[in-house]
């Protein structure tokens, strides 16, 4: 009886594995052909990949000062696929390199288009995953995206995780220095979930720490998370860095972060990731109310 049961459960497990392997291969093939259609750069319309942009706002002034580019895959059969489902696969297969290049180029071109349209200046951050970060030509790729779009380097920021950096610390710091030397900012994403040591952190040429959203989720009720958030804010400030909290969903979380001197926030409370047209609207609205306030002052 027992053996049979085991055998059945093994069969079940095996077929489930096959299904997920098959699913992986299908996704991978789809990614490859979708990427081919993109021709490696910002593409007009037909592309299955899309960047959404999530606003980052200053906690004191409420000003929208930047956006994070977040990829979406609009699959013709499966609908919208989350990056949590395909970025890992893109990493394993190496497709992350051309895909990441597309993200960089598209984000740079978009922010430059906002500037050319006369909207207030904005910074964009782009996520760079481990394999992409390690790749030899990353620095050249960033330089290429800047050159071809005409975007000013100060408007671009690269988000890396502690784990990507710690895979080869010496080389990572060297690469970060090269990126910084181009005038591009760096931030540590999901800070607190990786395992970088404080002595390593001290040597990173970064300008911003992003408090991971797992510490923000229960911020209003959990003393431990409050302690962690406060420690990250004070550590960041002592190292001369700006600190941004991700995943801010409630007014209580915002109030806590503000009261504890966090600089910036990002999260559903202000806005979900949205298409570029919506960012243009937000920016135009902000420019208008700033002009209104200035007119009031001089009146």
CA–CA separation, 160 and 2 (whole Å) = 49
Question: Tokens 């135009």 — which residue?
Answer: 284
Nearer to ligand C2E, 94 or 292 (CB): 94
Report the residue from 135, 157, 189, 264 that binds Mg ion according to the rule CB under 5 A: 189
Where does this chain touch ligand C2E (CB under 6 A) — which range of 20-28, 77-85, 136-144, 199-207? 77-85
Residue 268 is a binding residue for ligand C2E (CB under 6 A): yes
Interhelix angle for 2-38 vs 96-116, to 10°? Answer: 40
Residue 129 is a binding residue for ligand C2E (CB under 6 A): yes
CA angle 9, 11, 13 (to 5 degrees): 70
Residue 247 is a binding residue for ligand C2E (CB under 6 A): yes
Contact partner at residue 82 from ligand C2E, Mg ion, none, CB < 5 to 8 Å by partner kind: ligand C2E
CA–CA separation, 293 and 289 (whole Å) = 6
Q: Which two tokens stand for residue 7?
A: 């055998």
Report the residue from 30, 48, 54, 66 that binds ligand C2E according to the rule CB under 6 A: 54
User: Count residues contacting Mg ion (CB under 5 A)?
Assistant: 5
Could you give the string, one character per residue 147-166, with x where binding to Mg ion holds by CB under 5 A and - elsewhere? ------------x-------
Q: Which two tokens stand for residue 288?
A: 């208008």
Contact partner at residue 87 from Mg ion, ligand C2E, none, CB < 5 to 8 Å by partner kind: ligand C2E
Could you give the string, one character per residue 113-152, with x where binding to Mg ion holds by CB under 5 A and - elsewhere? --------------x-------------------------
Q: Which of 171, 181, 236 is nearest to 210 (CA)?
A: 236
User: Count residues contacting ligand C2E (CB under 6 A)?
Assistant: 23
Residue 267 is a binding residue for ligand C2E (CB under 6 A): yes
Nearer to ligand C2E, 54 or 286 (CB): 54
SS3 per-residue string spanning 148-198: HHCCCHHHEEEEEEHHHHHCCHHHHHHHHHHHHHCCCEEEEEEECCCCCCH
Where b means 16+ CB within 10 Å and e means fewer, 127-137 reads: bbbbbbbbbee
Q: Which residues bind ligand C2E (CB under 6 A)?
A: 54, 69-71, 82-84, 87, 100, 103, 127-129, 189-190, 213, 246-249, 267-268, 273
């Amino acid at each position: 009886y027992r053996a049979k049961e085991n055998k059945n459960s093994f069969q079940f497990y095996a077929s489930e594995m096959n299904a997920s392997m098959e699913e992986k291969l299908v996704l991978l093939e789809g990614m490859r052909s979708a990427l081919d259609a993109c021709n490696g750069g910002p593409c007009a319309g037909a592309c299955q990949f899309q960047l959404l942009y999530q606003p980052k706002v200053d906690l004191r002034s409420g000003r929208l000062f930047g956006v994070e580019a977040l990829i979406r895959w609009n699959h013709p059969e499966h609908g919208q696929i989350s990056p949590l489902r395909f970025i890992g696969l893109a990493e394993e297969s190496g497709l992350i390199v051309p895909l990441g290049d597309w993200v960089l180029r598209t984000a740079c071109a978009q922010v430059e288009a906002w500037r050319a349209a006369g909207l207030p200046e904005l910074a964009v951050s782009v996520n760079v995953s481990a394999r992409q970060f390690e790749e030899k030509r990353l620095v050249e790729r960033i330089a290429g995206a800047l050159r071809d779009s005409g975007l000013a380097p100060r408007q671009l920021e690269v988000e890396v995780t502690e784990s990507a950096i710690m895979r080869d610390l010496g080389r990572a710091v060297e690469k970060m220095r090269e990126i910084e030397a181009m005038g591009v900012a760096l931030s540590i994403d999901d800070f607190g979930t990786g395992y970088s040591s404080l002595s390593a952190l001290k040597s990173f040429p970064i300008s911003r720490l992003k408090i991971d959203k797992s510490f923000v989720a229960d911020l209003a009720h959990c003393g431990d998370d409050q302690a962690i958030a406060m420690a990250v804010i004070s550590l960041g400030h002592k190292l001369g860095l700006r600190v941004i909290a991700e995943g801010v969903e409630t007014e209580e979380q915002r109030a806590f972060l503000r009261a504890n001197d966090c600089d910036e926030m990002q999260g559903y409370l202000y806005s979900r990731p949205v298409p570029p047209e919506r960012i243009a609207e937000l920016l135009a609205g902000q420019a208008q109310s700033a002009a209104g306030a200035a007119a009031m002052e001089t009146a």
